Amino acid sequence: MAAERQAWWTPEPLRSQILTEYNVTLDAAACVQSRLVPQYLGLDHEDARYRDSLAPDVDWGQLAGPSGWTYLNPPYLPIPLLSGMLAKAAASAAAGSPVIGLVPASVTTRWFTTHITDAGARVRFVRGRVKFTGPFANGGSAPWGVALVEWPAG
Ligand SMILES: C[S@@+](CC[C@H](N)C(=O)[O-])C[C@H]1O[C@@H](n2cnc3c(N)ncnc32)[C@H](O)[C@@H]1O
């Protein structure tokens, strides 16, 4: 349950904004209750093949389809999991399948620099503080900033 305890869900109106702006067909880190779209990857998936989005044989692009975007609001901890998901987002886009992410705006971290800045992703900082939802969010505004990160198809 440790992974779930830091699972803050994307709140409205960000959820609507993302679904309006992008043809999201896969949520790469979710649970059945929090997924943005019906197709998701997550620990509680009924099909064991779709429980780990970092599994080498889980191809985000193939699941998202030719004109689809993958959405990623990754777990923040442990850092190698967060970093691995961002790396897979950049790789998926480079291989032709775009990804839109909602990511902590921690611009000095190695994972942000490597997989977002150096990867040439488009960053839009979200104004103000975001009130994440879900059973583990505390109802208040998150004390960190977030950014919408777009990894376009390479
Ligand atoms: C920050 S929440 C995002 C939930 C939802 N996508 C949203 O934006 O509201 C991250 C989710 O990723 C899940 N998760 C953790 N490890 C994962 C993995 N290896 N593969 C896929 N999902 C994972 C967590 O259980 C959690 O549900």
Q: Which mutation among 39, 53, 59, 77 tests ligand 1's pocket best, with the greatest number of atoms within 8 A of CB?
A: 53
Residue 63 reports pLDDT greater than 80 = yes
One CATH from 3.20.20.80, 3.40.50.150, 3.40.50.300, 3.40.630.30 for 2-151: 3.40.50.150
- pLDDT category at 1 given cuts 50, 70, 90 is very low
Tens digit of each residue's pLDDT (9 = 90 or more) over 95-139:
999 999 999 999 999 999 999 999 999 999 999 999 988 887 777
For ligand 1, the distance from its centroid to the CA atom of residue 2, given in whole angstroms, is: 11
The pTM for the full model equals: 0.96
The pLDDT mean for the chain works out to 94
The answer to whether the beta carbons of residues 7 and 75 sit under 8 Å apart is yes
Closest CA to 1 of 90, 75, 103: 75
Whose C-alpha lies nearest to ligand 1, atom 12?
Answer: 29
Identify the pLDDT of residue 143: 87
Cα dist. 124→86, 141, 146 in Å?
A: 16, 19, 9
- Nearest CA residue ID for atom 4, ligand 1: 30
Q: Decide: helix, strand or coil at residue 77.
A: coil
CA pair distance 17, 36, nearest whole angstrom: 11
The SS3 of residue 49 is: helix
Q: Is 39 in the pocket of ligand 1 (CB under 6 A)?
A: no
List the chain domain ranges. Answer: 2-151
Q: Whose CA is nearest to atom 6 of ligand 1?
A: 30
Phi then psi dihedrals of residue 125, to 5 deg: -70, 135
* pLDDT for residue 135: 80
Distance CA 17, CA 13 (A): 6
Over the stretch 66-79, which tens digit does the pLDDT of each residue have?
Answer: 999 999 999 999 99
Q: What average pLDDT score do residues 21-48 get?
A: 98
pLDDT at residue 5 greater than cutoff 60: no
- Decide if 96 contacts 153 (C-beta within 8 A): yes
How high is the pLDDT of residue 7? 77
